[in-house]
Amino acid sequence: MSMYEKMMKTTDDRDVDGYMALLHDDYVFVRHQSGTEVSKADWGPAMAEMMASDKLEFFNNRCIYENDDVVVSHQVMGFPDGSKEAVLIVNTMQDGLIIRTETGATLLK
HSE (CB half, 13 Å, CA atoms) of 1? 9
Q: Of 32, 39, 36, whose CA–CA distance to 103 is shortest?
A: 32
Using CA atoms, how far apart are residues 49 and 55, in angstroms rounded to an integer?
11
Write down the pLDDT at residue 83. Answer: 92
**pTM of whole model > 0.85?**
yes
- The CATH class given to the 3-108 domain equals alpha beta
Q: Of 72, 63, 64, whose CA–CA distance to 93 is shortest?
A: 72
Better pLDDT: 57 or 22: 22
Q: What is the pLDDT of residues 4-28, one digit of tens each?
A: 999 999 999 999 999 999 999 999 9
